[in-house]
Structures are given as C-alpha cells and as structure tokens.
Structure 1
Amino acid sequence: MIPAYQAFYDQLRTFIPESRLIHDPLRTLAYGTDASFYRLIPQLVVRAESEEEVVGIVQLADQQKVPITFRAAGTSLSGQAITDSVLITLGDGWAGHHILDNAERIRLQPGVIGAQANRYLAPFQRKIGPDPASINTAKIGGIAANNASGMCCGTAHNSYQTLDSMRMILADGSLLDTGDDASIEAFRKSHGGLLDALDALARLTRANQPLADRIAHKYRLKNTTGYALNALIDYEDPIDILQHLMIGSEGTLGFISEITYRTVPEHPHKASALVFFDRLHTACEAVALLKPEPVAAVELIDRAGLRAIEQKPGMPDFIRELPKDSAALLIETRAADADTLAHQVERVTATIAVLPTTRPIEFTSDPAICARYWAIRKGLFPAVGAVRNTGTTVIIEDIAVPVPQLAAAVDDLHRIFERWGYHEALIFGHALEGNLHFVFTQSFDTPEEIERYSKLMDDVSNLIVGRYDGSLKAEHGTGRNMAPYVELEWGEEAYALMWELKLLLDPQQILNPGVILNRDENIHLSNLKPMPAADPLVDTCIECGFCEPTCPSRALTLTPRQRIVIWREIARLERSCEDPERLHRLRKDYRYQGDETCAACGLCSTTCPVGINTGDLTRSIRHDRNSRHQGTANWIARHYAGVGSVSRIALNLADGMHGLLGSNAMTKLTSGARKLSGNRVQQWTPAMPTGAPALKPLDLPHGEPSADSTRPKVVYLPSCASRVMGPQRGSDSSPLIEVTHSLLNKAGYQVIYPENIEALCCGMPFQSKGLFDTADMKSLELNKELLRITEQGQIPVYSDTSPCTLRLKEKIDPVIELYDSIEFLDRFVVEKLNLIPISEPIALHLTCSATRLGQSDALKRIASSCATEVVVPDDIGCCGFAGDKGFSTPELNASALRTLKDSIGHCSGGFSSSRTCEIGLSLHSGIEYRSIVYLLERCASHPKPVTAGIDQPHS
C-alpha cells in the first residue's frame, strides 16, 4: 500500500476490523480481476458488512478525496468492478430479503445472488425481471448497477422498468430510502439543491425536443451505454429521476444498499424448440414474425456457433452437415396452464411454418430435453473459451440493432471478423430484442495484437452506430471497454448531459472514476489482463467468477478464480525471472492462502463454464510438495488395517479424556497443545467421534448367522471413516455400519462384506494430499476385491460415504455396479419401507460429492419422505471439512459454516452422507448431524409386505 493511502487506512481501522482490510500483495492481486479482460490492482480491499460501514467509508473517501469502487460478484464483463485505488466488497451482512404483497414485490440487499432471489419467489410462481446468464453467480447489487437483462427479460422487465424503490448512499455519504416518506422528506431538506438541479436538467431535457426524441429513440432497443438519460424524460419527480439514474450507473453515482423490485410471473408450464434453418436470413425473418407472438425467448445461433458445439455429446449428426449459411433459433414459450401452453405452441409453430426449416418444428415440454437445449445455448461462450490458444483471452461483446436489420447486421459483423482475422468468432444472442453477442479470442501480448483489437472495435462501433443507430452495449454495461465510444453513440449534446449528471452527483469524481465516462480515448486498450500459461489443468479458465459462490474458502482466503489468477502470476514470474523477491513472497503466501485452505472439493467444476476443477490444481501442487513422503504413504497403505486400529484407540482415548475433563477443559488443553506445536497438533472438538467397534471376522457384524440365501445380495462397502469413527460423545446412536446393516435387512437384502475390509480403502485420503500413486494402489486393491465378491459385477455394491463413491466411480471397473448410499436408498430401499415421518424439522446437508454425483434431489426426496419439514440452508455448500482439514485447518470449516447455526437453529437434528463432514456440521450448528440412514431407520417402523420377490438392483 503506497503512503498516500495510509491515512485513509488508519481512519478505516477505527471502525472496521483489520481482518477485513486487505492490503497484502497476494490478495490485492487476486482482487485485481473481474470477468473482463482488464486488470487493476487495488491498494486496499475493504470487506464491508453493513450500510453504516459503507456510509463511513464513503464519507471518509469524500473527505480525503480517495477514489472507491464497489464490487458485488465481480462477473462484470466490461471492466467496471476493478480499481487501482480502494475496492469495497460485500461481506455476509448483505444477504437480506423480504417478500412483500404476496410476492408482487421483493426487497433485496445487494449481496443476494439473483438465482437465490428467484428461489425465494418460486413458491409464489414469481421471479425478478432481470435474468442474466450469470444469474447463478451475479448479485443483485451488480444486476441493478449494470441494468443487466438476459434471455427472457427484454426491455420490459429489466431493473429500470421493474424498480419499485431503493436505498442508496451518495458520494457525500448521505442515505436516501425512496420507499420511506420520512427519508424522502429529510433528503429534500438536506439535499434540496441537488434535487433542484436534477429537476432543472430534466425540464431542460424535456423542453429540448430533438434531444428528448433522441433519448426515447435510443431506448427502443436494449441499451446500457452511458447513463440512463431516459430517467430525465420518463419521470418528473427528482426522487424518481435519481433512483432510476442509479440503475445502470455501475457504481459511479452511488451505492445501492437495498432495492425493491416489482416481480413478474414465473409460469410453470414451458415448452422449447430448437429450430434449424438453411439460411441465416430465413432465421431472422422468423424472428420478426415471432416478435408479436407469445414467446418468452428467441435465441439466435449462427453457423459458427453451431460448429462450436456440434461435436458435443448428444448433438445430432445432421448438425455437422448443415450448410455454411445455416442458423438455429431456440424458442421458448411459457404459460400458466397446460392448455394455454398447448395453444401457444400451435400458434408459434403455425407462425414460422410458413418459412422453410431444415427439420420439422418440434416443441417439447420435457424438462430434461429443454435443459439440454438451453445448455447448448449457454455453452456457446465457454465453447470458445475452452478451445482458445493458451495465453489468449476470450472476449464477449454485445450490441443491439432493430430486429428487421438483424440478418444484415450479422452479415456485416462476419465481414468485419474476416477483415481482421477473427476466424473463430461466433454470433448468438437474444434475437427477439435484436441483441447480438459475438465471441472471439484475443491475445494482448504484442502491439500488433492490441492494434488489431483496436481496429476491430472501431469498425464494430462505426458499423453499429453509423449504419444501424444501435446500441454498442445492450446489457453488459459500458465499463472501461466502451467508455471511449459513448459520445460516438449518443452524440455531443447527450454526452455533455451525462457529464453534468456525473459532476452533479459525484463532484469530486471519487466513485469508480474512469468507468462509463472517460476522456482517454485509449482507456479500452489500457491495463489489459495477461493470461499466461500456468498449468494445463486450469489454462482454459476465463476468470468469469461463476465458481466463487460454491467455494468454502471464499470468505477466508481465496476463491478458485483467485487461485488461478495467482498461480498464473507465479508461473509468469518463474518464466520471466523478472522479480525473484516477489515470486518468493507469492509462493510463500500461496502455501496458506491457496493450498492449505483449499478444500479441493471440486464444487467449482459444477458451475464452471469450462468444467475446471481447481481442486485438481491444488492436488497437483501438493503432489509436487509431498512426493518426498511417498515411502511413508506406501507404508501406511500396506498397513492400513493396523492404522485403523490405532486410530480407533486414539479416538477412544480422547473420548475418555473428554469424559474425565469435560468439554471446556478439554478444549483449552488441546487448543494450548495445538498452539505450542505451531498448529501441528490436530484440532480437537466436542463433536469428535468415538472409536467405532472393529468389524467381526464373519460377513455380518457381531457374528450373526447368515441371512436367508434366497434374498438378493448387496455388497456393503463401509468407508474408512465409517469403520473407524463411531457416534460423538453423548449420542444415543449406534455405529453407522450396524444401522445400515439393519436398514438393508429391513428392505429385504442379504448384506455381505468384502474380505479383509479393514485393509481396504478407495484411496481418497492419499489423493487429497497429492499422493496419487498410493491412492491408485489402494483403489486397484479394492477394485480387485470388489470384482471377486460381486462375481464380476453380478451383485451391486452399496457405498456408504459419498466422497468415496465419487472417487470409486472414476477408478473402478465399469462392470462393477456401484451405488452411492443416497442413490441406492432412493431407488431400492425407500419404496420397500413403511415410513412414518417425524413431525419436528430437520436440517439436510448436501455434500459436495453428492452434488457432483447428481444425488442432491434424491437426498431431498429421502428426507422429505421421513420429515414434514426439511431445511436446506441457502448459503451452505461444501462444509470445508475436506476429510481432515477440519482437524488441520479448522478455520476453513468454521468459515464455510459461519452462517449455519442461524439457518437451522430450530431443527431437531441434521443429516448428510459423509461422516467427516458431519463432525464439522455438528460442531458449528449446535445439533448432531448423522447419516441419512439414521433418519430412515428411525422412520421405518417395519418393511412393507412383499407380494413378489425383491428385484436385484441393476442400472
């Protein structure tokens, strides 16, 4: 941090804890990236937790003339969420929501993720209007500040059009709530001059008929270029004008601390069709015909776009044979009931049936097929990103033109791409609004490449403005990227008006300076982000940030995107040898920030557009570091049964001390030992399990006689954790293996166990530490025994721990029919039991492994069949226990579960599918978490009568 910011930092420390003031070189670099292709490294990052804190920060910035930039999720594509000054990010305190007027309105704080807002509204069959492609990651603050729209939003349902009221903090730190009459009255008294000036500007604008007409004309299309000048002609009350100017202002006029939306219907009945045309012009003619019809979305995909996804699994062969000029439309229609939907499908089909199509028009309401269609559309951007040359970035631009000129605009854009050598560029977009996205790859490592990009943008801008009078930014925001072209699009008079508004509301230009309005005509060519090769495991990363909400370390250290940013810089410094001291510092700090606090859970891969599992990078780094321990690992692997026995003894000894000393004294004693050892001693917790009893040598626990051989068999594969860890102290539960065995028996199965089970392991404990050879040795050993005991796959295998199942699915012989406990219970056990649901609410944890296995819905079904109220906390993903991280790096588990207790405090118990996860969940929730098997066993009073033989499960 340079000295100029020291006084600002010192003042911040008087009301914000230092733990939320980030200024170390590693993390400021990590926060220097958003989803755009720019990089600015902040001097200071402030994690704000409340409106009061933001008021204090803004007032201090105003006094000291320190520029500040607000960031929500950082999915911005135009460089509007980065700064080389002070970056203010949102902590946990911004996730509030209130549903109003039977969900006709919803009040949201800026930290709520867009998709989460829609989940709150789903029971009422309502949703917020904006629906950006990033809605699963983008937060309300960014959605409103960028006036984001999306595939179904159009111009009618964006934030500007559906705004009801907002709370805002202006550049002098003043607070206005436009939904509160008292706040408005106080603001009129304190800021009468500002409101009078806004009123005067609006009157002058409305009186200037050519300008007013120009503004109205510009918003006939989607438009996020510049400020929302339509507020000056749409509204007369300066309060209304002010709050609508905030929409799309990208944090340059103020901070939106809360927004109330008027919601829109979310019709439950939907049908989609992917319609192919031999000619692009025909597809665009179809768009024009569909404009007045009852369609929710019409997405255009050009031939280059189809070529990008034609090789993907499940794509029909005929797509590869389509003509050079072909295109497709993805059409969706929605209705409140099935009959209306059927009528709309007939009407839409008849409308475009007058045009020649490559294949017959077929609508489907099958959710799986519809999801596949939309996955194709949403996969276009990452399809380019995944195949780009290493070292290049992927850029997505968006423009809007009148629908009748859509085909001509696509042709013109393709000619520009050819002129400047962007042969991989593809075009898709929200055709119903004339909104086109074009995607291409770009290197910025030579002056020639930067010049090529500059010429491309000049040509595109001149084309869209000069020929089509369109929008240079339809929905992605102006940012730094389009700031030099705002005057070109709007004209001198409107551009001057925008500057008047900026200087009126931010006279010292401290709010996100340089964004939207910028006198530097080359600002879009400055501060370009390097994308050096780092590791083939992550080189396809486009730094979009979609991974971040799933990461358990996001509030503690780094997110997956940030880990990749830092690792790229480390790789660059290693190759260039330009700054050995900085390289050493980054490597040293990354050990904790990037490696030790990474759960390597892989949840990031489930939301990554290109499927990157940043945990693979972490394990690779651990492999390089831990290779010297390979011999020790092999010894442990060969003596696994003995290691398990020692672990049981250690757990029982610890439990004995716990009983003797009590929880408080035990916590102090073990914490002291951990501190003295430099954190080498593992963390003990009151939720620590007891040692499980060793399995008996016979097939069944406790030496029970063999069951009826006429019953179908299932091989029960208990994990190491299930075999070693019993219930926590004070629990009235039996060990998991006993309860599972009993439940499978109730369902009519004969349970058998692999031989020498105590010595077997899937290899996960070794894999997580990067000891891949040892991990594979154990999985091969287990594979051999499973092939034998299942009679080469004739008998199914029940795996009781989801993380182990996930690894085994990737490693064992495909002939082995392996089921995770959740899947087996859902498909083959629940239906055979007479379940009596309990009346008290229960909490459910979806482990990262169960999520990656696609078992989340199945787990919810099981829980719902056993309890009348099932609570799945909104913001809990991976618990961060990560096998043994809960012992070695307990702060990761604590951070990941920091909001758990408040979410499930009224629940009687919690259930999951991983014993180690349940330790951390129990500790941080205040209730005991156990396997879902315990809930089923409790609710299964007796099995249903069997009228026929029980079928052997098979896929």
Structure 2
Amino acid sequence: MSLPAAFLNAVARLIPKERRFDDPLSTLAFGTDASFYRLIPKLVIRVESEQEVVELLKLAGAERVPVTFRAAGTSLSGQAISDSVLIVLGEHWNGREVRDNGAQIRLQPGVIGANANAALAPFLRKIGPDPASINAAKIGGIVANNSSGMCCGTAQNTYQTLAGLRLVLADGTVVDSEDAASVAAFRASHGELLERLAELGRQTRANSALATKIRHKYRLKNTTGFSLNALIDYDEPLEILNHLMVGSEGTLGFISAVTYDTVPDHPHKASALIVFPTVETCCQAVPLLKLQPVSAVELLDRRSMRSVENMPGMPAWVKSLSATACALLIESRAASQSLLHEQLAQIMASIAHFPVEKQVDFSEDPAVYNQLWKIRKDTFPAVGAVRQTGTTVIIEDVTFPVERLAEGVNRLIALLEKHHYDEAILFGHALEGNLHFVFTQGFDDPAQVARYEAFMQDVTQLVAVEFGGALKAEHGTGRNMAPFVELEWGSEAYQLMWTLKRLLDPQGILNPDVILSDDPQIHLKHLKPLPAADAIVDKCIECGFCEPVCPSNGLTLTPRQRIVIWRDIQARKRAGIDTTELERAYQHQGLDTCAATGLCAQRCPVGINTGNLVRQLRAGNARHPGTASWLAGHFATVLQGTRLSLRLADGARRLLGAPRLAKVARTLHESAGLPLWTPAMPQAAQPVRINPAVSDARPRVVYLAACVSRAMGPAFADAEQMPLLDKTRQLLEKAGFQVVFPDEQDSLCCGQPFASKGYPEQAERKKQELIDALLKASRGGLDPIYCDTSPCTLRLLQDGLDPRLQLHDPVKFIREQLIDRLEFTPQEQPVAVHVTCSTQHLGEAQGLIDIAKRCAKKVVIPEGIHCCGFAGDKGFTTPELNAHALRSLKDAVQICDEGISTSRTCEIGLSHHAGIDYHGLVYLVDRVTRRKA
C-alpha cells in the first residue's frame, strides 16, 4: 500500500529532495539494521532539525502514516526498521554541552556514545551506559533502548542517570524538562495528559501486588516492555513521562536532547581471569563478588572459551581447560593505585575459599588485561566467523535472578543442546545475572523457522515463567520479544503498557509492532535473508559497527549497505530477476564513491574489509589491461607525463589566476569528467638528485620516495616550498644517516595505483620489482628502508614482505630511529594531525600523535574524520567524496596554521578543505629539532 499523496506532497515541500529517498537502492539499503529482520521503507527521510521532526509528526498524524526513528541502526531486536516512513538522523544532531566540570553532559541524539565519553575524559567522567556498540551507537538509540553494558549494571543506565530530557510527542508538541517556560507551556496545553499519567502512577503504587512485581522486575536488568518503574519511582508526571521515554524504542515519542548525570571514570584499573571447575562453583562466587569493589564481572562458559582458543594471541592454556570449566573475568577500577591495590586484595580474599582450575592474577599491565578482555570480546565474532553462509548470528539477552544463576546457565545450555544449537556459546554480565547466548540460525526453509520458534517458546517459558527473569536485559524488546511481553509481565501490567501507548500515541503511528504488538507471530515475520554474495563479505552480520569510520557515510552507501545491496543483487540474479537498474545505481553509490581504504575492517567484529570486495568488483569491470601493462612497463615515462601535466596546470594558473582556473576546472570536471584542479594542487617536483653512496661511519638508510613524492612538489601558495623528498633527506642527514636511493627509482612503484583501479596482476608485478630493488639497495636487508608515505608502506607490507627487509613508514622510523638522535623544542603554535587510514592499519596512529605532541604544545585531532576520502586519485576524479569526508574539518582546525599527515595525496585534499597547509610529518619534526650533541 503506497503512502498518501497528500503526505508525500507536504513532505516534498518540507524536506529538500537530496534528503528524501524512495528509490529501490536507497530503501533497500536502509531496510537493514543490526537485527535479523528486514523491512523495506517506502520513504526514508534524513532530518536535520527538531522543527522538521515536529512538522513530520504532524503530517504523519494527519494522514495516519506510521513512522520509525533511527539513529545508528545498531539495535538487535528489530526496532530501527520500517515498511512505512523511516526518519533517520542527519549530521546536525551532534551537539554536546559539558556542565559543572563534567558532572553533567547535555547531548543531542546523534552524538556517538564514545564521542560523549571523549568530551568527558578530561574531567575523568563518563556517561553511565557502556554498551558494546558504544563506538557506533548514538545517544538517541542508547536512551531509547535503555542500553547498558559490561560495567553499568542497573545503577548507571540511562534511566538511573537521567537528569533532563527534551522530547517531541506524537502530536508534534515539544517539551524540555530543563526549560521552565517549556514546562509551563506544556502543563497548559497538555494538563490532561499529565494528570492522566499522575493518576496511573497513583493507581499503580496503590496496587500492592503490581507495585511489588514492578520493583522485583527492575531489581533485575530488564528492558522488556515499557519502563513501568517510572510509575513507581516518581509521582511528578513530567518525571514519569521522561522516564517512560527511556527504553521506549521510539514508540512513545522522539528524544531530541538528553542530559546525563555522569559517573566517575577512574584511571587505575586491573583485570583477572579466574577459571572454576564447574558452572556451579563459578556462579556461587558471583553474589560474593557483587558485594566487592568490582566494576565488571563477565562470565564465560566452556563453549565460549573454546570458540576463541585457536585465535591468534590467545594464551595456550585456554585449550587445556576441562569440559565443565566456567570462567569469571573480573575488573576493578579506582581513583588511585593504592586504593586499587586495597580493592584487589579485598576481592581475592572474598573468593579465596573456592576451588580454581586456572587463575590469571590481577594485572595493571595493559598487555595482560587487554589479552584477557580479548578472550571475552572475541567470543561473539568467533561464532559469526564460523557460521554457515546464509545463516544469521542471533544474540539473545536474558536475565536470571543472581541467586539462581547457576541453575539458569545449566538449563540454558540444556535447551541449546535439545534444539541442536551445537555451535552456541554463552557469556554475560554475571553481577546482574544477565546472560547472552549466541547461536547461528537459518531462516531459508520452514523447518529452520520451526526450530527457532520451538526454541524461543522453551526459552521464554524457562526465563519468564519458571525463573521470573527478564527476556530482554539490555537489547530492547523490539519485534523480537513483542509477542512475549504479556507472558513475562502478566495481563495487568501488559494492559497498563497498552494504556500508556494509547495515551501517548493515540493514533498508533510511532513504530508499530515494536514492544507491543497484536500479532503473536510478529517475531517470525520479515526475517532478513543473508544470501551468499562473495566469500569476502559472506560473514557480515550487518551490525553497522563499520559505519562511523566510512568517508562515504551520508554521501552514498556505507560498508554495511554496500554488502546488503550486493547480497540482494546476487540473490536476484540467481532467481532470474533483472538487476540492470540496481547495478547501474550501485556503480556510483557502491563502487565509484568507495575509498576502499579498509578502515571498516578495523571496526568489523569479523574483520571484513569491504574495500576488498569493491576492488574485486572494479577488477571485474576493468577493461584496459593492455594499457595498464604498458603503464606498468613504462613507469618512468608515466612520471614524466605526470610532472608535465602539473607544469601545464601551473602554467594555466599563472595565466588565468587561481580563482578563475578553479572555476573553469570545476566546470570542466562537471561537464567532461576531467580531474578537478584546486589551489592545493601540487606543482611538479624536480627529478631526484641522487648522490652515490660513500663508505663512512654513518649508518645507512635506503630512502624509498613514493611516486607521488617524486612527481608532486608543494602547492604554489604553500608556506613550505621545499619538496618532501629534499626535506626528508635533510632530516635524515641531520640525524646522522647517510641517505641512499634504489637504482632506477623513477621506474619503481609499489603497485597501489594499479591495485585500486582493478588491475591486480600489474600491481603485483610492480610490487615485486620494487622489492627486488630494495633488497639490492639495502644490501640484502642490512640497511633499514624509509618509505615517505604510509599508503605505500602498507601496500608493501600487505600479504607479506621479504623478511630480510626492514621497512618503516615515517612514523615508525622517526619513533624508532630518530627520536634518540634529536633534541626537540616544541613549538607554541597548535598543529592539526590527520591520522591516515594506512597509518591506522600499520598500528602507528598513537605513535604519530605522540610525535606530534613532542613537536607542538597543542595538538588538534578533529573528531569524526577517520578517512579523508582522497583515496589515491579520487580527490581529483570523485571530489565529492573528499569534500564530504572533510566537511567538518575547517571548523575543527581553525585555531591551527598547519596540519601534518603521512600521505602526500591526502594532504592535497586536507589543505584544500581545511584552509590551512598540510605537510608531511617530517616538516614539523625538522623544524623543532636539532641534532643531539
């Protein structure tokens, strides 16, 4: 059924065309969240202001059009999808205000949870909720799901730490509990609603049996249904309303700002892992630990530890644990080290009488405790990585009363075995009795759906009925548990929830079938297909963790969406459905605007590099292998041609002037697809002047100058006019090195330009030629090699490098070889730092920041810019990707006169969009150092 014409016409007048999506590719891309459900919206609207939300809700109410709100789409229970109108947060919901030295923080719903904590970090504070998705999840979703996590328990979730709320009701009314005028206006306009809430509160508190049940349910970690504890905990109706909104999953209103009371973020911490011989002993220790100064206690059953025992970096002893072993991972934090040590002694004394199979004592060493937490964090992806293609990973989330935890664990394990979920694992937040169990499930045939349904019936009876627990502890009710809310809560509480829903959303337009549904089969409908697409991406669970680091997020598609669309294309082809139009749209949205830098792999729980898929698809489209082979075989000529092109462009700049040339270049790019010239375009570099190596006492370093460094000099207006190659040689010689170059340097290339264009054979040939030249220049690996750009270094190191070669990017070489030879005098002027994608992949991000902090007293690292989107030459050919990725850069670096990076091409785009010059790291290091005596 289509949307009403009156609604669509009114929306078209309200929302610009570029923020309305109804084409098949876009609606399919947004039809997926992190759950195992899929609904294709008829219309996706990206909203950028509260007033837009107000007007949309009024229009939706007038035409009875259902709407669903979406922040990051990382929710697991199907609450962020719609087959009607999906309202998605745009980028202008990122405001935050730290108050009272970090005691409170006011946040808009588009702020990523980790970024809120970054704003609080200088005050040693953080927000209470700490979901595993905090690096991707946004505040709107964290509040709407009442998310918690490993440390926050029931005492520090949003409900308990809420200080204020600004919300939009279903009728478009705005009320801000921190604004006295707003509250007064709301009392005047909605006094009847507030009185009804107050009356429901009085009735609920007077109903002793119901009140007792509600108190019991929220003694546990519980997100099943609405937050009925609001009716018990508060008598002020606006406070009831605010706390009802927490965990309401967009079914009662839109949260446009939230104020948190923050919690301490203690700097000193230690972790231990204690393996008990049985589940019973392990769980008996939990109530004792709950009385101790612990910040987290994670339970891991033997299956979960077995799932990771063969992964790289895992301790050997994990394999030798007994079949019945069960472990607790314990963390304690404190404001001082001495207090921490007192706490650790107290914790260990409390459980000293229990038998232990294996014990890793408390350690404050990051290498040790990070390895212990790696065991816990790798369990979920471990299941995802081994699942059969076409199946999905389901992570269920229940709570048992802590005093019955051991029995609950064993009964759950028995149910998994009964229904033949042999790959399933179990872990959880033990202090709260909150268990996650992860299993793989196919939905492509009725027998598999029936197995899942039978299992869920058993689980819900076990948890909700037999144990009086919670069917959802922290993942939200969604569609997944909507049919079982009454089973858990009983008829009286369930009807009270419906009363609240009808009071606040009388037309039923807000996220229907989520939390409450009249359809007892809703959890078995709209199940998401995960068809085979390509081995590179088949393990994707569509969680969305990749999206914050993708430079095309908000421009075209994200890595998750690229995979969703490619899966659908492949499934349609197998079904004999014409995919011409979808593939045509995918060419631009999926392939042309992908930077293919692979940062998504760093965030992906199962390590998927969507850029690898894109490169493979580009290779399939590559039509000029002969030309690529000629270019590879005549690379010195190519470099000469590049320098000539740069000279011609600079000549045009001298003739026309930079402003006029920029305007002409923009027109030519848009009309004829020519590469875009900007004032940050480099001038041609002079060919390398190579001095023959001499025999003296100085240590030698082989300088591998990337082809871009050999071709591209500084821009005409750059304050630094010395080419990168000369500046690097100057710094290396200052530090006492003799600089030598490979033979025939202008013919050499790491192969990256060929690989990114889809010519892997030519790329590999150039890479091997370069390795051979470096072996010769370094005297068989005797001398270290300095590569002046991090992308080339990464390219050479990927898929293995000859072990004889000692290859360094600029950060690693400065960190390991130069710091001890130079004396640093940090400059007063602030400097901006761009950590390139390749620097991140090389593990040198912190090293770059540390070097910058040696060089400048203030270092600025712009938030939210993970990749510049220049992507080799895409800054010239697809400049909208670079512009989109750096749209917030200028404001972020306005106090700086200079930026630094480790990639010459990245620096072109950075300089253009920042309005300041970006240079290689060596310029800054050379300026502030002198050779040690």
TM-score by length of 1: 0.97
Distance 2:14 2:825 in 1: 53
User: Which residue of 578, 586, 589 corresponds with 1:590?
Assistant: 586
What letter matches 1:487 in structure 2?
E
What letter matches 1:698 in structure 2?
N
**2:816 corresponds to:** 827
**1:572 corresponds to:** 571
Shift of 1:360: 3.7
Q: Does 1:756 align with 2:744?
A: yes
Contact 2:37 2:528 in 1 (8 A): yes
Distance 2:651 2:344 in 1: 69
Corresponding residue SS for 2:102: coil
Corresponding residue SS for 1:437: strand
Shift of 1:317: 2.4
**1:617 corresponds to:** 613
Shift of 1:366: 0.6
Shift of 1:346: 1.0
Structure 1, residues 549-589: CA drift from partner, whole Å, max 9, x if none?
Answer: 00000010000000000000011011111x21xx1111111
**2:881 corresponds to:** 892
Structure 1, residues 53-112: CA drift from partner, whole Å, max 9, x if none?
Answer: 111211211122111100111000000000001111111101110000110000111111
**1:684 corresponds to:** 677
Alignment of 1:147-162 (within 5 A): 147-162=146-161
**1:543 corresponds to:** 542
What letter matches 1:467 in structure 2?
E
Alignment of 1:816-895 (within 5 A): 816-895=805-884
Corresponding residue SS for 2:473: coil
Contact 1:416 1:459 in 2 (8 A): yes
Corresponding residue SS for 2:534: coil
**2:365 corresponds to:** 366
Shift of 1:671: 2.1
Contact 2:426 2:438 in 1 (8 A): yes
What letter matches 2:368 in structure 1?
I
**1:633 corresponds to:** 628
Distance 1:448 1:91 in 2: 41
**1:46 corresponds to:** 45
Shift of 1:807: 0.8
Distance 1:467 1:15 in 2: 52
Distance 2:412 2:746 in 1: 65
Structure 1, residues 618-653: CA drift from partner, whole Å, max 9, x if none?
Answer: 000011110x31111110011001110110011011
Distance 2:237 2:204 in 1: 13
What letter matches 2:123 in structure 1?
F
Contact 1:146 1:475 in 2 (8 A): yes
**2:895 corresponds to:** 906
Shift of 1:497: 0.3
Structure 1, residues 424-482: CA drift from partner, whole Å, max 9, x if none?
Answer: 11100000110000000000000110010001001000000121100000000000000
Alignment of 1:23-422 (within 5 A): 23-422=22-421
Alignment of 1:742-753 (within 5 A): 742-753=730-741
Distance 1:796 1:560 in 2: 37
Distance 2:254 2:311 in 1: 43
Distance 1:793 1:695 in 2: 23
**1:730 corresponds to:** 717
Distance 1:713 1:671 in 2: 46
Contact 1:296 1:333 in 2 (8 A): yes
Structure 1, residues 915-947: CA drift from partner, whole Å, max 9, x if none?
Answer: 00011111111111111111111112x2111xx
Shift of 1:369: 1.8
Alignment of 1:906-945 (within 5 A): 906-940=895-929, 942-945=930-933
Q: Does 1:607 align with 2:603?
A: yes
User: Which residue of 786, 795, 799 corresponds with 1:807?
Assistant: 795
Distance 2:20 2:377 in 1: 37
Structure 1, 930-939 or 480-489: larger mean CA deviation: 930-939
Q: Does 1:710 align with 2:697?
A: yes
Corresponding residue SS for 1:565: helix
Distance 1:750 1:803 in 2: 24
Structure 1, residues 666-712: CA drift from partner, whole Å, max 9, x if none?
Answer: 022222222332x2x1111111110011112534xxxxxx6672011
Structure 1 spans left out of the alignment, 5+ residues: 700-705, 946-955
Distance 2:909 2:362 in 1: 47
Distance 1:194 1:728 in 2: 64
Structure 1, 425-434 or 837-846: larger mean CA deviation: 837-846
Q: Does 1:653 align with 2:668?
A: no
**1:664 corresponds to:** 659
**1:11 corresponds to:** 10
**1:769 corresponds to:** 757
Structure 2 spans left out of the alignment, 5+ residues: none
Distance 1:202 1:796 in 2: 73
Distance 2:351 2:708 in 1: 60
Shift of 1:182: 1.3
What letter matches 1:745 in structure 2?
E
Corresponding residue SS for 1:362: strand
What letter matches 1:665 in structure 2?
R
**2:687 corresponds to:** 694
Corresponding residue SS for 1:363: strand
Q: Does 1:525 align with 2:524?
A: yes
Distance 1:368 1:121 in 2: 25
User: Which residue of 693, 715, 720 corresponds with 2:707?
Assistant: 720
Cα RMSD, aligned residues only: 1.1
Distance 2:103 2:910 in 1: 36
Corresponding residue SS for 1:591: helix
Contact 1:599 1:882 in 2 (8 A): yes
Distance 1:800 1:244 in 2: 55
What letter matches 2:154 in structure 1?
T
Shift of 1:5: 4.2
What letter matches 1:749 in structure 2?
F
Contact 1:5 1:43 in 2 (8 A): no
Distance 1:233 1:757 in 2: 76
Corresponding residue SS for 1:93: coil
Shift of 1:210: 0.8
Corresponding residue SS for 1:94: coil
Contact 1:129 1:157 in 2 (8 A): yes
User: Which aligned segments of 4 or more residues in structure 1 are displaced greater than 4 angstroms?
Assistant: none
Distance 2:169 2:829 in 1: 47
Contact 2:3 2:42 in 1 (8 A): no
What letter matches 1:247 in structure 2?
V
**1:948 corresponds to:** none
Contact 1:349 1:361 in 2 (8 A): no
Contact 1:826 1:861 in 2 (8 A): no
**1:949 corresponds to:** none
Distance 1:6 1:931 in 2: 55
Structure 1, 476-485 or 367-376: larger mean CA deviation: 367-376
Contact 2:113 2:135 in 1 (8 A): yes
**2:21 corresponds to:** 22
Distance 2:336 2:424 in 1: 40
Distance 2:818 2:53 in 1: 53
Contact 2:314 2:371 in 1 (8 A): no
Corresponding residue SS for 2:136: coil
Contact 2:314 2:375 in 1 (8 A): no
What letter matches 1:602 in structure 2?
G
Contact 1:299 1:331 in 2 (8 A): yes
Distance 1:378 1:603 in 2: 19
What letter matches 2:792 in structure 1?
C
Aligned residue pair count: 931
What letter matches 1:695 in structure 2?
V
What letter matches 1:193 in structure 2?
E
Structure 1, residues 873-911: CA drift from partner, whole Å, max 9, x if none?
Answer: 011110000000011111000111111111111211111
